[in-house]
Amino acid sequence: MEPKIEEKERQKTETWEKFWSFEGDESLFSKLLYEFREKIWVKHFLQVALDYTAKGKVLEAGSGSALSSVHLAHQRGDEITALDLATGALELAKAAAKKYNVPIQTIKHDMTALPYPDQSFDLVWNSGTLEHFENPVPVVREMLRVGKTLITIIPAKGIGFNFFLFVTQFLPQKIAVAFVEGNEHWYNLEQWKTIMEKAGCKRVHVKKIKVIGIFDYIAGIGYSS
């Protein structure tokens, strides 16, 4: 029998809690992965925010460990709120904020119904989050409701992710999840532009980002007016 929606959501939260407990554990592999993500991966995402926005009030919705936002606060002084379903993710976000001595607000909440009035943030963004939704359009629409500028970053198929998708079939789930969390949906630039436009974004601009030369991502930038 199909589980009820609430049950589905609970299962999803459990999946993410497992993911973040792996990322945050004390093993050498997890630590290296975290360092790599922070020192190399995140820089590419941070650059999109630096290129398209000015310092302001920022919500990272489905933030995970919120490393991009913490670096945004550290580098430019933005006022950050990190929102996620997973407690483990928010604990990592708090630890990163403490490490860089930046103030961030964290909130455990579902990003499909954000607890904020319309247009309360200058920027609402995330990376590696929207590809996990069956239908991202209403989620993007909700982000747009509370934000003036939207930045969405999702992985795209290419040499890097095709390789990961292949090798993760042979890895134990505990390790595989660190590379490809599962339930990803894949889009090309045009498809992602259409999704952002369907959600109501104006003046949508999409571009490819290459992380360490081989991992393709799509960045979508859109505006509420």
Footprint on this chain of ligand SAM (rule: CB under 6 A):
16, 62-65, 67, 84-86, 89, 110-112, 126-129, 132, 181
Least distance from ligand SAM to the Cβ atom of residue 225, Å: 25
For ligand SAM, give the closer residue by CB, 122 or 181: 181
Least distance from ligand SAM to the Cβ atom of residue 55, Å: 20
Interior angle at CA 42, CA 38 and CA 46, nearest 5: 130
Is 160:211 a contact under the CB 8 Å cutoff?
yes
Least distance from ligand SAM to the Cβ atom of residue 95, Å: 13
For ligand SAM, give the closer residue by CB, 62 or 147: 62
For ligand SAM, give the closer residue by CB, 149 or 217: 217
Least distance from ligand SAM to the Cβ atom of residue 66, Å: 7
Distances in whole angstroms, Cα of residue 216 to Cα of each of 159, 162, 172: 8, 10, 24
Is 207:47 a contact under the CB 8 Å cutoff?
no
Query: Cα 85 vs. chain centroid, distance in angstroms?
Result: 12
For ligand SAM, give the closer residue by CB, 82 or 196: 82
DSSP secondary structure string for all residues of 107-169: EE--TTS-SS-TT-EEEEEEES-GGGSS--HHHHHHHHHHEEEEEEEEE--SHHHHHHHHHHT
For ligand SAM, give the closer residue by CB, 110 or 197: 110
Least distance from ligand SAM to the Cβ atom of residue 47, Å: 14
User: How many whole angstroms separate alpha carbon 173 and alpha carbon 49?
Assistant: 33
User: How many whole angstroms separate alpha carbon 36 and alpha carbon 151?
Assistant: 22
Residues linked to residue 82 through DSSP beta bridges, in sequence order:
60, 106
Is 63:84 a contact under the CB 8 Å cutoff?
yes
Give me the residue whose beta carbon is nearest to ligand SAM. 64
Least distance from ligand SAM to the Cβ atom of residue 18, Å: 10
For ligand SAM, give the closer residue by CB, 42 or 206: 42
